[in-house]
Structure 1
Amino acid sequence: RETGQSSNTRRVKQMDKHDNSPRDESIHGRTQILAEIFGTYFLIFAGCAAVAVNKRTAGTVTFPGICITWGLAVMVMVYSVGHISGAHFNPAVTFAFATCGRFPWRQVPAYAAAQVLGSTAASITLRLLFGGEPEHFFGTVPSGSDVQSLVLEFIITFYLMFVVSGVATDNRAIGELAGLAVGATVLLNVLFAGPISGASMNPARTIGPAMVLGRYTGIWVYIIGPVSGAVSGAWAYNLIRFTNKPLREITRTGSFLRSARMS
């Protein structure tokens, strides 16, 4: 006679087998792609809308306001869909994760296409709202030399990917603060690099507005710079990842949030 425990075990195995079926994996893959489309759309819409509105209203948003908008948009979208798709929103981030073996190569084209689609859709929406006049351009073009912008894009994307790798792939990090850390990094990068390169850090952020508004000045800068910066940043963090053990196993303490709750 089969015991209740063995019966439950068999049911769990059957459920696991069902959860791992090709159909479920296909549905999960579609939800990830949709999350990347929606997330990239809202990110680009909010950030580029701040730029467009600021130009259209003679600076009412202000440059610090644009920086804050980008940072907050990244933060809220990471918390919204990070648990579904990983909240990449950036082909450079997806590619960098794949080079480190932390994202399947077979999903890279679909993720990149979803991110560019979301950016393009957001740019179309903004053009319908504000027009496509050159004075209202909300894309990114170098304000100085191409080389200057290329170096800046490499450095700030390196910085961003280094932070993303720390909070998203290291189980010793405080995962609850991932969105805040990434959003704050974007805010800081836009604050000092925005006036020079536009602080794209994201090929999709540049390609979408460029295609919709037909302005491709220096677009190679915003592909080579972010991709090489993201890959370098991801591998740089791997160099200092000396253990996969959780922090509590090293220091025998819990996370900062847990300590704060206990106190």
Structure 2
Amino acid sequence: MVQARHGPLIAAELEREPVWARDFTDLSYEGRRLFSELFGTFLLVLAGAGGAVLESVTHEGIGRGAEVTAPGLTVLAVILFMGAVSGAHLNPVVSVAFALRGDFAWRRVPGYVAVQVVGAVLACLLLRATFGDVAHLGATLPGPGFSAAQAFVVEAVLTLGLVSTILGTASSAQNVGSLSAVGVGAYIVLAGLWAGPVSGASMNPARSLGPALVSPELHNLWIYLTAPLVGALAAVAAAYMLRGPGGGPGGSRSAQGTLRPPTSRHL
């Protein structure tokens, strides 16, 4: 079957790959992976934007601590319960960073980015339908008293740290396994605690694009589309300095997931 689909040369190459890598080349699982990214990003944005929305609706002062903890814990949970399906990127710049490291196929990046944005938009549509268009649906904006330039720098630096954490814990050199979810979730919480008042600590173009499109609140959106990309590029450069080229089994397995149904067979 593999030879008939891909030809003898590619089939021979696939047979030398580990099982999880061969499964990732099977496009029959692509729908599951894309749904995983959509669903995970939906949950992340629902928690991230929903805190600001409920703060405005209830007037009870949810508090910044709860607002920044919710998305961090959501990411932790999503990585643990379905990271093996798609890698649980949940963020366009993470997909780009993995691709730049050679851990993820570039041909899959557009699909991942598209469903991440769709998941973010669906989360904001649900918030708007349930609570109304309040608090700009949790749109990320520079905080009062902070300039666009300051927000840009902070978002870039925060994303540098986030993507460095993701790439580092994905590396087999660290041997942290499922604890990578704890590291990533903890970083998101810490970044929000110290830098949330400056920029909203988005670190994720999809997270910012969702409420911006649904609310709509396009003011300063450029910051949250470009600064995370700058930070991610810097993180890839830092990863090269720390660990050399990517493409190793640990990073690739984390970026791609290890989806393998029990009935999977390779002929």
TM-score range, shorter chain: 0.7 to 0.9
Distance 1:94 1:245 in 2: 17
Aligned to 1:112: 113
Distance 1:162 1:94 in 2: 13
Q: Provide the TM-score with structure 1 as the length reference.
A: 0.81
Moved over 2 A (4+): 19-22, 169-173, 242-246
**Number of residue pairs aligned between Structure 1 and Structure 2:** 229
Aligned to 2:207: 205
TM-superposed deviation, 1:170: 3.0
Matching residue's letter, 1:57:
T
Aligned to 1:32: 33
Alignment map for 1:13-92 (pairs within 5 Å): 25-92=26-93
Distance 1:85 1:176 in 2: 15
Larger Rg: 1
Distance 2:178 2:40 in 1: 19
Alignment map for 1:105-184 (pairs within 5 Å): 105-133=106-134, 135=135, 137-143=137-143, 144-184=146-186
Q: Does 1:103 align with 2:96?
A: no
TM-superposed deviation, 1:21: 8.8
TM-superposed deviation, 1:230: 1.2
Distance 2:224 2:147 in 1: 13
Q: Provide the TM-score with structure 2 as the length reference.
A: 0.80
CA contact (8 A) 2:50 2:137 kept: no
TM-superposed deviation, 1:20: 5.4
CA contact (8 A) 2:124 2:137 kept: no
In structure 2, do the counterparts of structure 1 residues 190 and 218 end up closer, same or farther at CA, with 3 Å as the change threshold?
same
In structure 2, do the counterparts of structure 1 residues 34 and 190 end up closer, same or farther at CA, with 3 Å as the change threshold?
same
Aligned to 2:258: none
Structure 2 gaps, min length 5: 1-14, 251-267
Structure 1 gaps, min length 5: 1-12, 247-263
Q: RMSD between aligned alpha carbons? A: 2.4
* Identity within the alignment, %: 34
In structure 2, do the counterparts of structure 1 residues 193 and 128 end up closer, same or farther at CA, with 3 Å as the change threshold?
same
In structure 2, do the counterparts of structure 1 residues 101 and 119 end up closer, same or farther at CA, with 3 Å as the change threshold?
same
Distance 2:30 2:249 in 1: 29
